[in-house]
A = this chain, B = another copy of it.
Amino acid sequence: MNNFDFYNPTRIAFGEGKIAALDTLVPANANVLILFGGESARRTGTLTEVEAALGDRRVQLFGGIEPNPSFETLMEAVSVVQRDGIDYLLAVGGGSVIDGTKFVAAASLFEGDAWNILLKGGSNIHRALPFGSVLTLPATGSEMNKGAVVTRKSLHAKLPFHSEHVFPQFSVLDPTKSYTLPPRQVANGVVDAFVHIVEQYLTYPADAPVQDRFAEGLLQTLIEIGPQALAEPEHYQVRANLMWVATLALNGLIGSGVPQDWATHMLGHELTALHGLDHAQTLAIVLPTMLAERKEAKRDKLVQYAQRVWAINEGSDEQKADLAIEKTRDFFEGLGVKTRLADYQLAAEHIEPLIDSLEAHGMTALGEHNDVTPEVCRRVLHASL
């Protein structure tokens, strides 16, 4: 195990009916801005329930935060915060709304051009407004971590930032709030959580049996409940477990003390930035070919993944690894998330601009060994056609 620091002060209120706890979780004298995405938050009654729980606090709404939240939209929210003396933010939605709220929390108190937050990856954040979240979409883990990704549409740039100042103070996880999600978002959420785990697990052995077993337990659970979550949208226990898995997939725990990869994510971000694919779609395209491309360096963990997660006990190590990668692809396809560039009308001619963009963002030495160069990414994309 490597040395590590772990810190995660987000309070989790988990279960049906927990939105009522907002009354104790949000300060009584807060001047609240509720941030949300599309109209579904209103249509499903979640916004009404949230507003009722907040009682007679001053509350106003800011809707329209997009999937892959944009700098442009978020800066409008910052203007509202500064204009109206907002002192508490409440994200109601999925990872995009929570990521966006993290940015608004930091940008509202940031001196200078807030785009610099992204250019510095958040290292220049020294304070942020306090905020909480009401999660409606199990997927990104943003509800219990200090990271976020923001897209600047005008620059075709999608960049991450991290800061301890943007941990949510609390997150309400009510699985019933996910019942009305479209199947595509549920499937995306399963893929997103799955790949988050893989990025922290499937590297090389590091004498970390607990982190390995936790990651494997999360992956096994996703494999069990992913299809169920689509087949039975109102199965409480399935949605509850999906929500808790997605949160634990990226709250810092399973990644503590072990090497991490994240090359699939970084390459995937370029696909979203240039072509607007859903984040999970990009991961489903890139991961299988990325694993195949780096099979030698990842051999030990690929074999362990094959045996423990997919119960593949026959064949050579090479065969186990290959079959595990195949099963991973089949799992994504089985959820309805396509895994080939061609499925999204992308072809060989789209590859070089993606590589150019990766290089422009400085992503030239990715992965746990810093050896995933643009050339490696080019091969991965060609193999993903």
Contacts and interface: CB of A to CB of B under 8 A. Distances in A.
B244 A210 contact: yes
Contact of A210 (B1, B16, B241, B256): B241
A5 B9 contact: no
A15 interface: yes
A17 interface: yes
B1 A207 contact: no
Interface in A1-20: 1-18
Tell me how many chains of this kind the complex includes. Answer: 2
A5 B12 contact: yes
A15 B1 CA distance: 8
A8 B253 CA distance: 12
A257 interface: yes
B207 A217 contact: no
B7 A256 contact: no
A212 B216 CA distance: 12
A11 B17 contact: no
A224 B10 CA distance: 33
A124 interface: no
Most B-side CB within 10 Å, residue of A9, A17, A248: A9
A126 interface: no
Contacts of A225: 209
Given A14-B257, A209-B221, A210-B221, 8 more contacts: A3-B14, A6-B11, A7-B12, A14-B256, A207-B241, A212-B217, A213-B218, A244-B257
29 contacts: A1-B14, A1-B241, A3-B14, A3-B15, A3-B17, A4-B12, A4-B14, A4-B15, A5-B11, A5-B14, A6-B11, A6-B12, A7-B10, A7-B11, A7-B12, A8-B9, A15-B257, A207-B237, A207-B240, A207-B241, A209-B224, A210-B221, A210-B241, A210-B244, A210-B245, A212-B217, A213-B217, A213-B220, A216-B217
